[in-house]
Amino acid sequence: MNQYLSKIGRRIKEPPISWLMKTAIETPGLISLAAGFTDSLTLPVEETFLITKNIYKKAGKIALQYGSTEGDINLRQLTSDRIKMLDNVENPSYLPERVLITNGSQQFLYMLVEALCEEEDIILVEAPTYFVFLGILQSHNIAARNIKLDPDGINIDSLKATLDCLDKNGELQKVKFFYSVSYFQNPTSYSTAENKKREILKILKYYEKKAGHPIYYVEDTAYRELRFAGQDIPSGLSFTNLNNHVIYTGTYSKPFATGIRVGYAFLPPEIYQVIKRIKGNHDFGTANYLQQIIVEAIKSGIYAKHLKIIAKRYSEKANLMGKEIKNNFDFPVHYITPTGGLYFWVALPDKAKTGFKSRVFQQALKKKVIYVPGEICYADDPYFKKPTNELRISFGYSEETDISAGIKRLGDAIRESIS
Amino acid sequence: MNQYLSKIGRRIKEPPISWLMKTAIETPGLISLAAGFTDSLTLPVEETFLITKNIYKKAGKIALQYGSTEGDINLRQLTSDRIKMLDNVENPSYLPERVLITNGSQQFLYMLVEALCEEEDIILVEAPTYFVFLGILQSHNIAARNIKLDPDGINIDSLKATLDCLDKNGELQKVKFFYSVSYFQNPTSYSTAENKKREILKILKYYEKKAGHPIYYVEDTAYRELRFAGQDIPSGLSFTNLNNHVIYTGTYSKPFATGIRVGYAFLPPEIYQVIKRIKGNHDFGTANYLQQIIVEAIKSGIYAKHLKIIAKRYSEKANLMGKEIKNNFDFPVHYITPTGGLYFWVALPDKAKTGFKSRVFQQALKKKVIYVPGEICYADDPYFKKPTNELRISFGYSEETDISAGIKRLGDAIRESIS
């Protein structure tokens, strides 16, 4: 009946999160701990106004005219300087010529898949992983293999075993990259340790030879600058002799303002032009006005100051959520307290299923609180059995009273469901 | 050697305009009549600052937070009201539920192709047409058929003949839509007459039955609001009994500020959700900050005022370019004087080739002026011989002195090449 659609058009599914968002909007009094929105209280309203005032005085016409497909050279230079500074090392992978500006890192992920993947190719993902990325793969009929995720990054044995299995099945040439949300991961808030990154890169290099083509290590660092405790970790770009197939993508949206969608990627030269051309066909360049806002935010120091403000705020909200979980979840649970990002990832007792149709979810809905069922964060993968007892809750958007009330309601819902 | 790329990745070509833009930047003193940039003098620098001030006071937090994938409801309502007002008729195709907000109309065109087209499908295009759209088709291995374009829209006989031919070859089911830049077309500045639109829709309906699926009439109205003389023409949405397969896309970028990339599309219900889902995977929604700027621009009346300012300015620049062509092109040429848009489309004597390698182009480059060779605006089509003696020149970006000097240089270059 819909044979006029393309295969993508026929395959693409309504994202599970849409239903959650719709429910949140349509249910008065509902507390959504599901949304990945950022904190509202600390949005840089006044700062952005000051920035636009400066743009008005200094670069009004530039900001309002078309820019270039790859992005403003000043922003690419500042981005290059910034990530080099965070990684604290110098090598050619930080060159501004390797930086492409995008509409958030999401657009970059989409274009990367378009540039590298054919139907039935295989992408390695963390288990669990960012579910919107899984949606991109699904709509393009690209398979994903789940790699077990530990609190310091993926399990190296699981990576090796998966690649060995793919090798034995003659499928290694279909493997295009390993996708990792390497800082305060969505959904777990786990970060990948520096040593793990080095190990991952060595393993990928080994299998690249067998595959006969690059197997990129794609680091999605969307949450890197949402760190409120602990030390930063260098990215894969920093390993000077191992980094030739590292792809690094990040964003200014989450740390600064999600209404201003500016992301970026550091790309190896052999794929830079290809993805830039795809960007040209998508939109021939991210809105210059937004780019100039970020340029001015960084140059003026407003961006750096803002990072401190949100670190304090997220730290407080994360602590509160942790305290409320401790006080209200009086049944066996497993979770770690995050030091950055937006999420708590909670494993309930095995018998407590968390899916949309589960008693826990229905009971929670009845009590007017929602969460993201853990299941949707795992790729469909014949070699992997999805856990069904996990959930993601966010302290990103909710204010303190909602965090407290939400966790209490959720605790009640879970207790009633499992007792 | 690049077998790790997808088919799109391997196929995608450097857009011809990139080379022109690079040349323009790298050649001091060069006058580019090639660029499709908009007027710089009239960019609404102060107006945008006033708007951001209002946003700061009234809706700062909303503007800086994520929005929804389909776009802000106020902007969709205002867009719906606006196009209904221009078309001066009421029917369900103007409902805000049918409006999707995009990163300029360019992103919409890309997503439309993704939603409807498979490799080797066929799209009907005007000959000549918008060359970036041809780039999207090329990278997806989608064929295009050229339909002869007259000054009041495509030649109806050419449309019928092409569809008949496709029918006879059993290829009608591959035809997904007819793409038309229906107002002040890029590159010709021709507009499609109201009666022609009605005829086109009747013909497409006839062949839809044979094809067994919709053949959409896609109106790209990017230049509709750049009218500086004559009367506006209703869009295909206005034909209440013929419009069920009309897709209308437009933009606020060109009429207001190209640095603020906000476009939109009016979509029939059966494809709205599909394209919205693709948008979700691309970027889950256009930057809310930009959307709020446009909302405030429209509500405050600044947008309407700005349209008058640019109409006056483009009218003056178009008149000047027309005058200079008349004074300097002392050889047989054919062109019409536009009443909107950004371009003059000039046919030179047959023997005067205009391609990148032609004497005319090389001579022009030597005299430091560039134009868009007409050839790149025609689709590769085995049934169509591309004219090679045309060129597109723009009065959009250049100021008066450059228009005068540029046309004089170009006239000299052509004269020297053909004499």
Residue A101 lies inside a defined structural domain of this protein? yes
Query: For the segment B159-179, what is each residue's pLDDT rounded down to a tens digit?
Result: 999 999 999 999 999 999 999
In a domain, B284, yes or no: yes
For A11, nearest residue in chain B (alpha carbons): B274
Q: Kindly report each contact of residues B295-300 with a partner whose C-beta sits within 8 Å and lies 24 or more positions away, as own/partner.
A: B295/B72, B295/B74, B295/B75, B295/B78, B296/B51, B296/B54, B296/B55, B296/B59, B297/B44, B297/B47, B297/B48, B297/B51, B297/B252, B297/B256, B298/B78, B298/B82, B299/B78, B300/B50, B300/B51, B300/B54
Residue of chain A minimizing CA distance to B13: A277
**Residue A347: strand, helix, or coil:** strand
Question: Cβ of A71 under 8 Å from any chain B Cβ?
Answer: no
Q: How many CB atoms lie under 10 A from the CB of residue A220?
A: 29
Residues A343 and A296 occupy one common structural domain: no
The enclosing domain of B282 has a CATH number of 3.40.640.10
Give the angle subtended at the CA of A290 by the CAs of A284 and A295, to the nearest 5°.
Answer: 110
Q: Is the pLDDT of residue A1 over 70?
A: no
Tell me the pLDDT tens digit for each residue of B359-394: 999 999 999 999 999 999 999 999 999 999 999 999
Is B258 close to A65, i.e. CB distance below 8 A? yes
Work out the angle between the directed axes of helices A359-366 and A400-418 (0-180°, nearest 10).
130
Residue A120 in contact with partner chain B when CB distance is under 8 A: no
B36-80 pLDDT, tens digit each: 889 999 999 999 999 999 999 988 889 999 889 999 999 999 999
| pLDDT at residue B35, as a whole number | 86
Closest to B336 in 3D by CA, of B189, B216, B194: B189
Question: Does A107 sit within 8 Å of B282, measured CB to CB?
Answer: yes
Q: Which of residues 89-118 of A touch B (CB under 8 A)?
A: 103-104, 106-107, 110, 114-118
Mean pLDDT of chain A: 96
Please check whether residue B59 lies inside any domain of the structure: no
Query: Which residues of chain A lie closer than 8 angstroms to B8, CB-CB?
Result: 114-115, 278
Q: What is the per-residue pLDDT for A19? A: 83
Average pLDDT of span B204-208: 97
Q: Would the pLDDT of A155 be above 70? A: yes
Q: Is residue A326, in this structure, part of any structural domain at all?
A: yes
Answer whether residue B128 shows pLDDT above 70.
yes
Q: Report the chain B residue with the minimal C-alpha distance to residue A259.
A: B64
> Tokens 């805000």 label which residue?
B96
Contact across the interface for B46 and A67, Cβ inside 8 Å: no
pLDDT value at residue B104: 94
The domain total for chain B is 2
Residues A384, A317 within the same domain: yes
Name the amino acid, one letter, at B360: V
C-beta atoms of A286 and B261 within 8 A: yes
Judged by a CB distance cut-off of 8 A, whether residue B12 touches chain A is yes
Count of CB atoms situated within 10 Å of the CB of A26: 8
Question: For A223-250, how does the pLDDT look when each residue is reduced to its tens digit (9 = 90+)?
Answer: 999 999 999 999 999 999 999 999 999 9
For chain B, the residue count is 419
In a domain, A52, yes or no: no
| CA gap A102, A171 in Å, rounded | 32
Q: Does A74 touch chain B (CB under 8 A)?
A: no
CA distance B393 to A374: 56
| Terminal-to-terminal C-alpha distance of chain A | 47
d(CA A374, CA A129): 10
* β-sheet bridge partners, residue B32: B370
Cα three-residue angle B242-B243-B244, rounded to 5 degrees: 105
Q: Give the model confidence (pLDDT) of A17-41 as tens digits.
A: 878 888 887 889 999 999 888 999 9
Tell me how far apart the alpha carbons of residues B352 and A279 are, in angstroms, rounded to a whole number: 35
Q: Could you count the other beta carbons within 10 Å of the beta carbon of residue A81? A: 13
Q: What is the mean pLDDT of residues A268-293?
A: 96
* DSSP letters for A282-303: HHSSS-HHHHHHHHHHHHTTHH
Residues of A in contact with B47 (CB under 8 A): none
The amino acid occupying position A177 is: F
All residues of chain A having their beta carbon less than 8 Å from the beta carbon of residue B114 are: 6, 8-9
Give yes or no for a contact between B48 and A60, defined as CB atoms under 8 angstroms apart: yes
Q: Which residues contact B295 (CB under 8 A, 6 or more apart)?
A: B72, B74, B75, B78
Task: Specify if A54 maps to a domain.
Answer: no
Reported as half-sphere exposure (CB side, CA atoms, 13 A), residue A247 has a value of 28
Within this chain, do residues B226 and B371 fall inside the same structural domain, yes or no? no
Kindly state whether residues A189 and A75 are assigned to the same domain. yes
pLDDT at position A419 is: 84
pLDDT at A29: 93
Q: Quote the Cα angle for A167-A173-A174, to 5°.
A: 105
Mark whether B19 and B71 lie in a shared domain.
Answer: no
CATH number of the domain at B18, please.
Answer: 3.90.1150.10
Give the separation between CA B172 and CA B167, rounded to whole angstroms: 5
Within 139-178 of A, beta carbons closer than 8 Å to B belong to: 139, 176
pLDDT at A60: 85
B306 touching A, CB under 8 A? no
Mean pLDDT of B248-265: 97
Identify whether residues A190 and A86 lie together within a single domain. Answer: yes
Q: Do residues A161 and A12 share a domain? A: no
Query: Residue A160 falls within a domain, yes or no?
Result: yes
Question: Residue B1 has what pLDDT?
Answer: 53
| Residues A225, A200 share a domain | yes
3-state SS, residue B147:
strand
Of the candidates B349, B398, B351, which has an alpha carbon nearest to the alpha carbon of residue B371?
Answer: B398
pLDDT digits (tens, 9 = 90+) for A289-314: 999 999 999 999 999 999 999 999 99
| Rounded percentage of chain B residues whose pLDDT exceeds 70 | 100
Cα–Cα distance, B384 to A186 (Å, whole number) = 52
In what helix (H) or strand (E) does residue B208 lie, and over which residues does it extend? helix B194-211
- Of A24 and A103, the structure prediction assigns the larger pLDDT to A103
Domain presence at residue A50: no
Grouping H, G, I as helix, E, B as strand and the rest as coil, residue A50 is helix
Q: List, for residues A321-366, the tens digit of each pLDDT value.
A: 999 999 999 999 999 999 999 999 999 999 999 999 999 999 999 9
Residue B36: predicted pLDDT = 86
Contact at CB, A277 and B139, closer than 8 angstroms: yes
Domain's final residue, options A303, A331, A360: A303
Q: Determine the structural domain holding residue A270 and report its residue range.
A: 65-303
Nearby residues of B310 by Cβ (< 8 Å), 6 or more positions away: B38, B39, B42, B226, B255
Distance between B260 CA and the closest CA of chain A, angstroms: 5
Q: Which of A303, A332, A361 lies at the terminal end of a domain, its last residue?
A: A303
Which helix H or strand E contains B153, and what residues bound it?
strand B153-154
A254 and A117, same structural domain?
A: yes
Same domain, A96 and A223: yes
Name every chain B residue with its beta carbon within 8 A of the beta carbon of A13: 277
**B205 Cα to chain A: minimum distance (Å):** 15
Look at residues B260, B282, B302 and tell me which one is the last residue of a structural domain: B302
- Measured CA to CA in angstroms, residue A99 lies from A244, A263, A287 at distances of 14, 10, 16
Cα nearest neighbour of B62 on chain A: A259
Is A309 found in the same domain as A297? no
* A58 has pLDDT over 90: no
A385 touches chain B (CB under 8 A): no
Q: What number of other Cβ atoms are within 10 A of residue A225's Cβ? A: 24
Question: A124 and A180: one domain?
Answer: yes
